Amino acid sequence: MKKRVFCLLLSALMIAFCFVSCAEKNREEVMIEIGEKASEGAVTLSMYLISEKPVSAEQEKLMEEAVNAITEKEFKVRMDLRYFTPEEYYARLEADLAEQKRFYANEGVGKKDEEPVYIDENGLPQTWFPSIEEFGVDIFYFSGYDRYLNYADSGYLRDLSTQIDGTAKSLKAVINAKLLQQVKALNGKYDMVPVNRAIGEYTYILLNKDVLKGTQYSATDINSLVDEDCQDLLGLVGEVFDDEYVPLKSFTGELDLIDTEFFGADANGYITDDFSVLAGTYNSAWNYGAAGSYPEMSNILATKNNGRLSVAEQIKVLKGYEFAGYYGTEADADKPFAVGYIKGGPEIAEVYGDDYEIIPVALPTIETEDVFEHCFAVSEKTNSELKSAQILNHLNTNEEFRNLILYGIEGKNYVWTDAVGADGNLIIDENGEPYKVVTRLDDKEELIYDMDVYKTGNVILAYPADSENPLAREYALQQNHDLQIEYTIGFDLYIAKLVKAEKDFDPATAPVDKNNPDAEPKKPDHVDIDSIKAVSVASKNFEEKINAAATADELDAVFAEIEAYLDSDELKAALDMPGNEEEEPEVEAPETPEGETPDGEGAGEEAPEEEPEEEKVYTSIAFFYDKWLASKSLKVVAPAA
């Protein structure tokens, strides 16, 4: 009781003190103090965004008002939204990042002094948000690991690891775990945030239920287009059901190979998985990261895995279907198919589930390019790492805020409408009501707001547009649940970093060995990209010939060419590594008469000392693949004997 009375007396004294203090100050001073207190921790942040069409000044003002109504209240952050079209965006972003870095390297010389304003025009207290430079970059979107490498090497990216492990930890709950984990696995830190979205696609075999009833086969017998049961089933359909069904329909427009990893490089020197005579096979049922589950880099004639067909043998089976006429002709366009091969999302089950057994033969897979395809980052010189991380967290976790950035303002930039299917009928939910979708408004040019769903934040939080399936969010969540990690994820980035390090090497600025400061700076590893690029060019030619082959004899002739090519200098250079060298034949030295040295001079003279052989330096893509695997304590799959 005494304690409570004491607290009441203390409170009364404090109130009396405030009245006395206020009496000593004029009203304006009091309002300024309140505004100053409210402004503590307030910052202004910029966000750089790509708009598919120009955003007018009127629309930009409406957006900033709507966005800041949220961010000023939630985070004491005023947002400066900066919209640029795809043609303008990267040139402006990179120029501003560079200028911002120069500005701070010069300790902010030239920064204009700004007088805080803590009361508004009505004399009432307000939160004051300092202005930012025209080149001030805080939060920005970018795409591609080539840009990531440039931005990281230029020192443009802020490490958000502390924030993602703390204030912005909600990101770990909403962004697919495998996608976010790969950022740290590949970069060593969270220096960018990938856009959460559906990754990869399923590969399905479709088996006609009516056809299966007339055979001894079931859905559990078929695991790929090239296994023996599938070959037998297609042969049976071709003989018995040819009048009723097209034996095989592929929707992919490519060679439907399974569990195959190709190794090549594009014209810019980036590693690709396009068709190549360098390849390895694996078993997709094995776990990512398990020793012994990685494909060997070999050639398509020799690559085997636990008795599976080599890549070349798979190709021969698939082309054999073509030679046998299993794919049908234009005259068969209206016939149902017995076996189908298709890639896509979970919606495939809705389309074909009534008539076909649907067998997933490959699950969605995350590759290096998926990690870097759509990203947001915070500038190293941001006004506030904490506040920037909070905004990114809100963009990925708050549905209202995320869709405001994507669609703009309801009633001005978009309206809700009923979802209509391709057949013109309403799409109905489980309660018998039509699904609602967003329809953009474009009747007023000054209010056009056209943003890409992948360049504005968490795709899975986006409202469905009228051009999309209203169940897209549910499908994406299901797909990401099944997501696998590509076995060689990160290898292409590893090679790109090595190539860039060599290209950027400057002896004048290279780090000095502290233990031997007089020594020449160590040069970066050299990767023989030219050889793998040449292999890729030749492989493209072989792929075209394989596709054009109209008979088994023509196909055999192509593989004979490939076999001859395996002896080429460029292919040998691409595979050059310890254990792959050709043994040089031993040459027997001629006998030397007793008492003479091999050069014919008399005995007693010492033979010249042999020069020690220099250790061979390997530069091949195969050598660095093996080195990359070793750095991860992984092993390749040994080819079957």
Tens of pLDDT, residues 323-345: 999 998 887 888 899 999 999 99
- If one compares 92 and 222, the residue with the highest pLDDT of the two is 92
Asked whether residue 1 carries a pLDDT value surpassing 70, the answer given is: no
The answer to whether the CB of 528 falls within 8 A of the CB of 574 is: yes
* pLDDT for the residue 174: 93
**For residue 575, how far is the Cα from the chain centroid?**
28
Q: List the beta bridge partners of residue 272.
A: 264
Tens of pLDDT, residues 416-434: 999 998 888 899 888 889 9
Q: What average pLDDT score do residues 47-68 get?
A: 97
Pairing state between β 484-485 and 43-50: unpaired
The pLDDT confidence band at residue 594, using thresholds 50, 70 and 90, is low
The closest alpha carbon to 391, from 117, 163, 104, 85, belongs to 163
* pLDDT for the residue 20: 47
Q: Which of 19-28, 162-171, 239-248 has the lowest mean pLDDT?
A: 19-28
Edge-to-edge strands, sheet with 375-378: 77-84, 43-50, 139-142, 375-378, 193-194
Asked whether residue 44 carries a pLDDT value surpassing 90, the answer given is: yes
The pLDDT confidence band at residue 43, using thresholds 50, 70 and 90, is very high
Q: Which of 152-156, 362-366, 421-425 has the lowest mean pLDDT?
A: 421-425
What average pLDDT is seen over the chain?
A: 86
* pLDDT for the residue 533: 95
Tokens of 515: 């233990």
SS3 at position 321: helix
Tokens of 491: 């290898």
> Residue written as tokens 């700004």?
114
The pLDDT confidence band at residue 3, using thresholds 50, 70 and 90, is very low
Asked whether residue 10 carries a pLDDT value surpassing 50, the answer given is: no
Q: What average pLDDT score do residues 82-91 get?
A: 98
Tokens of 502: 């060599």
pTM of the model: 0.85
* pLDDT for the residue 291: 64
* pLDDT for the residue 175: 94
* pLDDT for the residue 180: 93
Largest CA distance in the chain: 121
* pLDDT for the residue 179: 94
* pLDDT for the residue 639: 45
* Angle between helical axes of 491-504 and 621-631 (0-180°, round to 10): 110
| Contacts of residue 109, Cβ cutoff 8 Å, sequence gap at least 6 | none
Where helices occur in 505-592 by DSSP H, the ranges are 529-548, 552-565, 569-575
Asked whether residue 640 carries a pLDDT value surpassing 50, the answer given is: no
Asked whether residue 19 carries a pLDDT value surpassing 50, the answer given is: no
Q: What average pLDDT score do residues 202-207 get?
A: 95
* pLDDT for the residue 8: 45
Q: Which of 43-57, 81-95, 327-341, 443-457 has the lowest mean pLDDT?
A: 327-341
Q: List the beta bridge partners of residue 250.
A: 341
The answer to whether the CB of 638 falls within 8 A of the CB of 306 is: no
* pLDDT for the residue 617: 84
The closest alpha carbon to 359, from 339, 381, 332, belongs to 339
The structural domains of the chain, with segments of one domain joined by +, span 20-197+365-489
Q: Which of 126-135, 160-169, 216-225, 511-520 has the lowest mean pLDDT?
A: 511-520
Q: What average pLDDT score do residues 394-418 get?
A: 96
CATH assignment of 20-197+365-489, given 3.40.50.300, 3.30.1600.10, 3.40.190.10, 3.50.50.60?
A: 3.40.190.10
* pLDDT for the residue 328: 85
The pLDDT confidence band at residue 521, using thresholds 50, 70 and 90, is confident
> Taking the CA of residue 3 as centre, how many other CA atoms within 13 Å lie in the half-sphere pointing to its CB?
0
